[in-house]
Amino acid sequence: GRSQAASMSIPLTTRGRGGDWMPDESASACTQCGAPFGWFRRRHHCRFCGRIFCNACSSHRFDGSKYGLGTRDRVCDGCFAIETSLETRAIGRGSKPGSQAAAAASRSAQ
């Protein structure tokens, strides 16, 4: 659920594009709500964490250009909440939006 995304290492932003995407065939249901995929419920990859969600659990769009992603990429509810929180804190401290996430990414990569 939502807490699962929040408990993953921050940021999730650098995982989405490339080899870290969850393969379509590995998810028969949404990784957040558990709703089964089928003809009328399609799979959607979160461009940040790479996991697979239904439309209802990945309805947000986020400007990922500062991470080398698109400007209107689909993200899951959990990643959207984390990124929005990071940006709000960064703006409140007067630092450049995204710099907190970039710093966290370099720390988690070490």
Higher pLDDT, 69 or 95: 69
- What are the angstrom distances between the C-alpha of 104 and each of 28, 56, 61, 66? 32, 28, 22, 14
Contact 45, 25 (CB under 8 A): no
**In the predicted structure, residue 62 carries a pLDDT above the cut 60:** yes
The count of domains in the chain is: 1
Share of the chain above pLDDT 90, in %: 33
Residue-averaged pLDDT of the chain: 74
49 C-beta neighbours (distance < 10 Å), count: 25
Higher pLDDT, 109 or 81: 81
Can you give the pTM of this predicted structure? 0.63
Taking the C-alpha atoms of residue 70 and residue 64, their distance in angstroms, rounded to an integer, is: 5
Report the CATH number at residue 24: 3.30.40.10
The token pair at 78 is: 């959990």
**In the predicted structure, residue 36 carries a pLDDT above the cut 80:** yes
- The identity of residue 56, as a single letter, is A
Domain ranges, residue 91: 2-109
Helix (H) or strand (E) holding 78: helix 77-92
- pLDDT of res. 98: 52
